[in-house]
Structure 1
Amino acid sequence: MSVAKKEYKRVTVKSLVEMKANGEKISMLTAYDYTMAKIVDNAGIDVILVGDSASNVMAGHETTLPITLDQMIYHASSVVRGIDRCLVVVDLPFGSYQSDPKEALRSAIRIMKESGGHSIKLEGGKEIKESIKRILNAGIPVMGHLGLTPQSIYKFGTYTVRAKEEEEAEKLMEDALLLERLGCFALVLEKVPAKLAQKVAEALTIPVIGIGAGGGVDGQVLVTHDMLGMTHEFNPRFLRRYLDLYTEMTGAFEQYITDVKSRDFPSNKEQY
């Protein structure tokens, strides 16, 4: 069923709650630099996530753990300069909020002041409750993240689907309700069973955005480099590739090399 879209000059945290109430699905993609952010924003995306996935996509690390707060601020500030309409959410990186609520607040304040981002995202539920409360009390909007939480990969030992067992599913629901009560404006659910994700979305008044969480949630998020086919080693079930840029870019580079070697480039029209 199609839903009439409300046109937003600027998307805010309030806009997302309205979208859920109106039955309009929320679109969310990652960006880590000015150029990509400008293209994604101009296309009409609702939310850009400056994800700690930059650790993998931009820096080549195996996990999201190595990226630093300074690096996240650099990426986020680059993105903010490229957007006019969408809401920008910035991940708090591993180690910047888990152990000390005061440190969590300092990290969130740095992101907001130094990058110009509109909100922050952090992973976890009850165990980081005090950090979330302190950040929210400072007036900083918070997006939660439950299910597969990549910053805890060494605890889980695998990137497999989470909350398939009843005990973990119950904890996830409890954590989701807690995040809403605390005042989070939205929640990301990553790699959880579709039925559970839909149940969570129906239980909450705040939007639930899924990645590998089925179609019963309030919106979807993908890593832009994955959905454009710039990466080709990563093939989870939830990923739809809208382009095959890896192949197209490789072909363009090979053609450029050929043109340079053969002296075809630059032509007379391409010089002064």
Structure 2
Amino acid sequence: MSTHSEIKRITTHTLQELKRKGEKIACLTSYDYSMAKIVDGAGVEVILVGDSASNVMAGHETTLPITVDNMIYHAQAVVKAVSRALVVVDLPFGSYQGNSEEALRSAIRIMKESGGHAVKLEGGIEVKESIVRILSAGIPVMGHLGLTPQSIYKFGTYAVRAKEEEEAAQLIENAKMLDEVGCFGVVLEKIPADLAKRVTESVSIPTIGIGAGPHCDGQILVVHDMLGINKEFSPRFLRRYADLHSIMTDAVRNYTKDVKSSDFPNEKESY
């Protein structure tokens, strides 16, 4: 019997169950078919098609330039590869802020054209109307609080958020609001660990941390950072599980050397 039939598809309900049982949720980003196949096969519960594709795939300095069309392209590729994980797709900057009709249109397009399972958007009370509207169409929504990279120009920095009690209280209020309106989870980015613990205990939905300490219900990292493909980015919260940058560089160098010395292709590698 193929092991494939034993693979239970992860749903938003599964994540709720994991939180209830106290079992941590593993999440990673992916942006293309080949990478997503590996990530899904290795057993993570959630794959986020993040607007971080703007940085790691397209080389932009911020996440702001990426479009809904770009996100659909990346999400289509990921969905084709995935047989188990829940695929969550970021709504990019400008596709949901300030206009709940536009937010719904963006979310519907992403769901219809990519086949993704849910969308994620940044912000609290200021995007409540958009969230409610998307949820009313039956589309699962994940929230995102703390450092919200799409607001980089407002904050002017990627520093830790909510260190002051006032901002911390606001963040907890926003998390409760996301829970109450029906989001299935919330990403907490770069906030103090004790605040993340308070949030995690005060909402019924799973919290997924990135730079938010060990008390969240799950963790997420950008896959290129975690695999050590990127060398430039070294925040405190990042643990590199491989040094693919060195491995890939060596492989390309050796290939180049072998081509130049006529070592590749040899007789066995020729027809």
**TM-score of the pair, normalised by structure 2:** 0.97
For residues 217-269 of structure 1, the C-alpha deviation after alignment (integer angstroms, 9 at most, x for no partner) is 10000000000000000000000000001111101100001000000000111
User: Which residue pairs with 2:255 in the alignment?
Assistant: 256
Q: Could you tell me how far 1:99 is from its partner in structure 2?
A: 1.6
Alignment match, 1:32: 31
Secondary structure, aligned partner of 1:152: helix
Show CA shifts across 1:64-119 (max 9, x none): 00000000000001000000000000000000000200000000000000000000
Q: How does 1:36-185 map to 2 (within 5 A)?
A: 36-185=35-184
Q: Distance in 2 between matches of 1:100 and 1:235?
A: 36
1:184-199 to structure 2, matched below 5 A, reads 184-199=183-198
Q: Measure the CA separation in 1 of the matches of 2:270 and 2:162.
A: 61
Aligned to 1:4: none
Describe the SS at the equivalent of 1:159.
Answer: coil
Alignment partner, residue 242 of structure 1: 241
| 1:175-217, Cα deviation, whole Å (9 max, x unpaired) | 0000000100000000000000011001111000000000001
* Cα gap change, 1:177 to 1:8, in 2 (>3 Å): farther
Residues of 2 paired with 1:43 and 1:262: CA distance? 38
Equivalent AA in structure 2 for residue 54 of structure 1: A
SS in 2 for 1:270: coil
CA deviations 1:36-89 (Å, max 9, x no partner) are: 010100001100000000000000000000000000000001000000000000
Distance 2:30 2:210 in 1: 16
**What are structure 2's unaligned runs of at least 5 residues?**
1-5
**Counterpart-to-counterpart distance in 2, 1:210 and 1:8:** 25
| 2:198 maps to 1:204 | no
| Counterpart AA for 2:26 | S
> How far off is 1:8 after superposition?
5.8
CA distance in 1, matches of 2:38, 2:108: 28
- Distance in 1, matches of 2:216 and 2:92, equals 25
Q: Percent identity?
A: 70
**Any idea what the Cα deviations from partners look like across 1:120-147, whole Å, max 9, x if unmatched?**
0000000000000000000000000000
Letter in structure 2 aligned against 1:42: G
Give the Cα–Cα distance (whole angstroms) in 2 for the partners of residues 57 and 25 of structure 1: 26
2:3 aligns to what? none
Query: Number of residues paired by the alignment?
Result: 266
